[in-house]
Structure 1
Amino acid sequence: MKKIINTYKLFLVATLFLTLGSCEDEFTNRPPEDGISLDAYYSSNEQVASATNGMYSRTWFQFENKFMWAVSEVGSGNMYTGSADVNAMRTFAINGSDTELVNGWSSMWANVAQANAIINFLSSRVGPAVDEDVLQNTIGQAYFMRATAYFYLVRLWGPVPIIENNLNYTSSPVINTNRVEDIYTLIERDYLAAIDRLYEKNRGTNYAENGRISKGSAKAMLAKVYLYGKKYAEAKQMAEEVISSGEFKLYGGPSLPSKTYADIFTYGNNNNEESIFAFQWKTDGRYGSGNNCNTQFGISTPQITTSNASYGGVFAPSQDLMAAYEPGDLRRKATIMLPGDSYPEVKVLLAGGAFGTLTVPAADQIGGQNAGAAIKKYCIGIVNGANTGQVDEWGMMENVTYIMRYAELLLIHAEATLAGGGSTSDAGALASFNAVRNRAGLSSLSSITFNDIFKERRLELAFEGDYWFDLGRLPRAQAISIMAAQNRGNRFAAEYYTPEEGDFLLPYPDNDVAKNPKLLEPPVPYDFN
């Protein structure tokens, strides 16, 4: 933790003097990044609005690049990998020296620190020409990001320190962790603070304007937090406020029938009407500004490759997930590539240097993970102008990473209506649930259980970083039983591993424990004043 506190001044300077990242259109509207005085930098609405640019991308990069997939997807049994740097969670063998664990932990605290700088200091650094609503909207985005970072921290590590102002701890960087219930209180308070400050929006067809979060985004995330706390009435109310607002729409649903589930994950549909919150990537020549999923997923062999880098296919679908789809589920082909599947919109590099379009080869020619399949979601292929956007020297691209979509909000609404009961035939719950199923090409159900919703969440949100957390919401014995039954091997050899109680929370990084031994002490109550 000392490392985190000691880097606070760096984040403070970065936040107040510079814009750490940039994305297309509104995210590129920023002043030069050298020789700027503090007063001059925040003299206009545009400069204030740009203060959170980096918090949509670069502060999340070390979380999203490998850690998110290595824990939430490999750990949950959705993904398979044999790559040594990301496969520890496949066998529940991760430890505090794991490089990607350290990266994920550090990324969360970078987000907290930068959000704290904006929340605590931005108001005193603006000139008279800055409109109050612009200032408050920017601060609202910081509250949203801090809440989101803590939502990940508490679900991954459990008790962690609550830090609302890093400067409070510069003289005493050895800090106690706080209770899980207090962390959830902070998260709820932060999302409510964001709701009070953020602009209302209507996600329209001008996708370039949809990148930033809105009041509806914060309400949707708060509905999810309430669901985790089994505050079903609050979760239902918040979800219904978002649904009734009409801000978001189901891609391929009745409002947008010409679109499909697969269309959500194409570059041209970045920030579409279904996107509630997504990381915004921009290939600006700096490492950590682009999205690496096209390389990490997909196919990379001497015969055919979808990667723009010299490697690819680090992650693959698990045998267990491939067996989970029912016949006719349109999400399967949009999520997992099986031999013989054709994707004419995806450009590939073939043996000998020729280019072609993607027809998935035989199982033994798909890639080094020996899964016999590859991941389609977020795999958009060889750079190809308007179809893919640009690519940087590391093979990273500009397609967004979804953290929450409207489909999930609909499933949250259905589960909150169920409210822990055995089943429900409530019309509103069925409307929300069946909208997601129907978009996937599946028939409606007339009554739903928790298990129905749980399965639907897995298939709808596969490779979007949620299944590990869904398993963590179950009674431990039930989650352990599910995971112990998963085939976590490749197509040649089935492998089974049984997690223990302690495997559902990650270890703190060894270096941070050495600097702050209080991480291992019992958590203490937090004083919210």
Structure 2
Amino acid sequence: MKKENNMMGMKNSYKIFTHVLMLIFLASCGDDFLEVPVVDTITEDNFYMTDDQLLAGANTLYGQAFFTANDKFMYSLDMLAGNSIGFEADAPYKLFAVGVNNRTLLEGWEGFYKGIADANQLLKIIDQGLSPDISEEVKNQVEGEARFVRAFAYFYLVRLWGEIPVIDQITADTSTRYRLNTVPSIYAFIESDLKKAADLLPLNPSDQRRVGKTAPWAFLAEMHLTLKDYENARAYAKMVIDSGLHSLQSNYQDQFINPSLSVNREGIYRWVWTSINGLWGIQNTNQAYLIDDDDLVGNNGAFGSVAPSVDLFLAFDKVADPGEEDLRRKWIIMEPGRQYDELKTVDGGYTFPENGDNSATKIRYRKYVVGSLNEHPNVFFMRTEMSTQLMRYADILLIYAEAILGNGASTGDAQAIDAFNQVRRRAGLSEKMMISKEDLMNERRIELALEAGKFWLDLLRLDRTMARDIIRVQNRGTANSLVPLDTDPVFVTDIDNANFLFPIPAAELSFIDTTSPAVDYVIND
């Protein structure tokens, strides 16, 4: 990314490579997955004495470890992709000018490496030997979860940064300057961890919040799609489909607007959050950034930092035929005049202002907006319990269709068409008889909008020329009105290959050797 102007101040933060991260494990209690901190340090020799304790130790892998990545970084990827627009401080993401001192960039890096550190700590504890009271079944499950999450984190890092250091164990050595590892060897490590996780995990875990074999299979499918290995992408996606464990929810919206329904059969891997007034770092903060109406959220934590872009607003027309209404539209974006009976229920519902609100594009996101305590429990200042969806069955259906298409211009393959049309049918759209790469990209952009940076990751795996062509025609500007459409357009035309990867944050540069050529990572286990 090009050097940004007006770089944001950098917070004092732990350096991920300088010390052993001490974990704060949260115990399972009743219906809450993560509720009460039980310790602030782990005594490796004797802490995990039972199955429940070991499972509770792994709970951090389902959200808490990735808190800083979820807080603002993930939605910043949608700004890069042209789906969102933010405050002036977020302009570097809109204009491809993210510099090494960007605070949100550091938070994303820290979040993924914190997930890796927690996974490594668990693997170290398991390797050193556990209490005989811990069953082999639970030991395998937790090892599988740790390997899966470590692979998940590295899969994000390698796509977003390219050459990075692979850290596969906890160490107290503060003098090491870590070498960068080559991209192919990082992918080999990711594949190894995912395959081992698939071997260790149960097929159908009793707790739906935890991952089973379908999670590593799903990410193996996405990884092979990213590497243009369409045969393996198709095979792993088919394994998820044939498992029979996942299906599309009857409607699109519940998993994004109702915390109690956000853990379901469509989800394959998600971050699960707990909201406790006064505790920080275990909750989902996203609602605070998406809406600018304190009355709607029931507290003064509605900042409206990010909004849908003009280009995303127009992108719905690329998937719907003339005269069709995409049922997802109402639940992804708030448009002038839209009525939401499930928000502001004490007032009889909420109508988005006829002239739009004060966002730069006159619209807001509906997705991931929960409302207030009047609608759902445990909604506090910058706190909700809405799960963050990271891999869904809809994604797998679209991966499967794209893997069948492969390098072809279009396909009418019955299995590809069926998978593609399952997603469209739920959206209330007409079915297709033939699909192209463009059809798939357009469908993914809408179906997965504001989800874990998915559209930016899709652009990253495209041929660079194709990705640049998409970005250069995106309207990244502001709107004066939507009906009739009147915008002050902004187009980013000066984009080259260097703009597709982030720089390593400045806070980490003294611990990483960025001057020597990257070396192959050698898998140690």
Q: TM-score, normalised by structure 2?
A: 0.89
Q: Counterpart of 2:341 in 1: which secondary structure?
A: strand
Q: Counterpart of 2:82 in 1: which secondary structure?
A: coil
Give the corresponding residue for 2:269: 277
CA RMSD of aligned residues (A): 2.3
Pair 1:26–1:128, CA change in 2 (3 A)? farther
Whole-Å separation in 2 of the counterparts to 1:374 and 1:198: 39
1:450 Cα deviation from its structure 2 partner: 1.1
Pair 1:172–1:27, CA change in 2 (3 A)? same
1:120-269 correspondence runs (5 A)? 120-167=124-171, 170=173, 172-201=175-204, 209-252=207-250, 260-265=251-256, 266-269=258-261
Select the residue among 437, 442, 454 that pairs with 2:424. Answer: 437
More off after superposition, 34-43 vs 140-149 = 34-43
| Aligned partners of 2:180 and 2:514 also within 8 Å | yes
Q: Please state which structure has a larger fraction of its residues in helix.
A: 1
Amino acid at match of 1:506: F
| Aligned partners of 1:414 and 1:430 also within 8 Å | yes
Give the corresponding residue for 1:255: none
Q: Counterpart of 1:402 in 2: which secondary structure?
A: strand
Whole-Å separation in 2 of the counterparts to 1:30 and 1:300: 30
Q: Counterpart of 1:278 in 2: which secondary structure?
A: strand
Whole-Å separation in 1 of the counterparts to 2:505 and 2:34: 35
1:482 Cα deviation from its structure 2 partner: 1.2
Pair 1:102–1:31, CA change in 2 (3 A)? closer
Deviations 1:252-289 (A, max 9, x none): 2xxxxxxx111221222121110111111001342111
Amino acid at match of 1:63: A
1:25 Cα deviation from its structure 2 partner: 2.4
Pair 1:238–1:23, CA change in 2 (3 A)? farther
Select the residue among 357, 365, 368 that pairs with 1:378. Answer: 368
Amino acid at match of 1:216: T
| Aligned partners of 2:336 and 2:363 also within 8 Å | yes
Whole-Å separation in 1 of the counterparts to 2:259 and 2:504: 36
| Aligned partners of 2:337 and 2:353 also within 8 Å | yes
Whole-Å separation in 2 of the counterparts to 1:455 and 1:45: 45
Where do 5+ consecutive residues of structure 2 fail to align? 1-12, 481-487
Deviations 1:389-432 (A, max 9, x none): 3023x331001010011000000000111121111111111111
Give the corresponding residue for 2:47: 41
Amino acid at match of 1:340: G
Whole-Å separation in 2 of the counterparts to 1:156 and 1:36: 32
Whole-Å separation in 2 of the counterparts to 1:507 and 1:237: 34
1:268-347 correspondence runs (5 A)? 268-284=260-276, 285-300=278-293, 305-306=296-297, 308-325=299-316, 326=320, 327-347=324-344
1:309 Cα deviation from its structure 2 partner: 3.2
Deviations 1:68-105 (A, max 9, x none): 111x1011000011241x33211111100001111111
Q: Does 1:59 align with 2:61?
A: no
Q: Counterpart of 2:400 in 1: which secondary structure?
A: helix
1:26 Cα deviation from its structure 2 partner: 6.2
Amino acid at match of 1:165: Q
Q: Does 1:468 align with 2:459?
A: no
1:29 Cα deviation from its structure 2 partner: 8.2
Pair 1:25–1:422, CA change in 2 (3 A)? same
1:151 Cα deviation from its structure 2 partner: 0.6
Give the corresponding residue for 1:500: 496
Q: Does 1:5 align with 2:8?
A: no
Whole-Å separation in 2 of the counterparts to 1:399 and 1:292: 9
Give the corresponding residue for 1:117: 121
Whole-Å separation in 1 of the counterparts to 2:121 and 2:164: 19
Where do 5+ consecutive residues of structure 1 fail to align? 204-208, 253-259, 349-353
| Aligned partners of 2:84 and 2:308 also within 8 Å | yes
Pair 1:146–1:23, CA change in 2 (3 A)? farther
Whole-Å separation in 2 of the counterparts to 1:421 and 1:496: 30
* Amino-acid identity (%): 35
